[in-house]
Amino acid sequence: MDTFGSIIAVTPKRAREPSDNEPKSVLTLTLESLRDGGYIWLELDPQSATKIGVSDTAPVTTFAARFPPISHSTDLFTPLLFPVIKLADLPSITGDIYDTIFREAEDYSDRWAKTVHCVQPQGTLMLSYKPSNTRPAKDLGIRLGWDEEQVTIWADRHVDPAKAALRLDNFPSGIHGYRVDVLDVTSNTWFSLAHATGDFGVGTTSFGRITSELGTAETTLKLLGRYKPPPGVRAPSFVHIGVRDPALRLRYGKKYQFRVRLMDHTGGGQALDSTTGVLGPSPVAATTFRRWIPPLALQYIGKMPILDTQPGAETQVDFIEVK
């Protein structure tokens, strides 16, 4: 194993600029209106709402993105969405629940995972963190995790009837995926494990070649697997997903660091060259990649090359290779 592979359970996201023939909408906000933070959302034009059958009797759910105080140019990002409803329809939610919602919105507004951890399995039981006297038959790589407790809480709100009774489902997650980066501590350069290059299209229509970043999505209902597109959508034929750069090679004895960037439903989030977040117990995880595989049997290759008149030519030596 000498390269970093891909992260499983990926969902492709691609943003593009509208063509010259498409209508463009520009929303201009003054810095003064953003200085104290606030909420932003979009609503359907009444004429459009009538055409698609949206009305007071058949409403469409609208959610707002919350943004913190802003003093400079930046992309907007919200880890939680807030319902846009009439005051009379405001759900009865206790104050402590609101405290939890706003705390989460504040904690993850910087777009970084807070508790990143990793481990390299040393035995045949790859799911066990305990020391083992056994050794793996092949290298199992590095296992990586982040913010399991918080991610489970977010998912639980949409599947647990008790959480729905508390009206917590009114605050869906604005996080659609995660992007994992890796750094060789000797190079001081971050590489994205979500980098992808390939062709993409819908049906017979090709969107051309993509060089972008995907997102890793969590799932609580089934085993992680490759992205399966909906009917009529042709799966991306990516040439490569992950890092394949001569500047970064997975080598025994080297120390690597990992961090996780949050991605919203539009594919937005921190860029690869962003400064790593510092909030949280462990925003960066580190491990030294070691060889735990026992040496294989010695393999006899053959005779050493003829040395002619060089020193050692008088002694015939067999060449033995150890893997």
- What per-residue confidence (pLDDT) applies to 8? 37
List Cα–Cα distances, 42 to 19, 45, 51, 265, in angstroms. Answer: 22, 9, 17, 15
Give the total number of structural domains in the chain. Answer: 1
- What per-residue confidence (pLDDT) applies to 321? 60
| Low-confidence residues of the chain: pLDDT under 70 | 1-27, 56-59, 91, 126-129, 131, 218-247, 299-323
Q: Is residue 127 part of a domain?
A: yes
**Residue 115 DSSP code:** B
Which two structure tokens, joined as six digits, stand for 1? 């194993």
Cα 110 to the chain's mean position, in Å? 15
- What per-residue confidence (pLDDT) applies to 12? 35
Q: Distance (Å, rounded) from C-alpha 77 to C-alpha 104?
A: 13
Q: Distance (Å, rounded) from C-alpha 133 to C-alpha 316?
A: 40
- What per-residue confidence (pLDDT) applies to 224? 38
- What per-residue confidence (pLDDT) applies to 283? 94
- What per-residue confidence (pLDDT) applies to 286? 93
| CA neighbor of 139 nearest in space, from 22, 5, 240 | 5
- What per-residue confidence (pLDDT) applies to 114? 94
Q: Is residue 22 part of a domain?
A: no
Q: Distance (Å, rounded) from C-alpha 108 to C-alpha 270?
A: 12
Q: Is residue 5 part of a domain?
A: no
- What per-residue confidence (pLDDT) applies to 70? 79
- What per-residue confidence (pLDDT) applies to 203? 74
Q: Is residue 56 part of a domain?
A: yes
Q: Distance (Å, rounded) from C-alpha 289 to C-alpha 255?
A: 6
Which two structure tokens, joined as six digits, stand for 282? 């462990």
Q: Is residue 226 part of a domain?
A: yes
Look at residue 156 and give its three-state secondary structure: helix
Identify the domain containing residue 87 by its residue range: 10-14+35-321
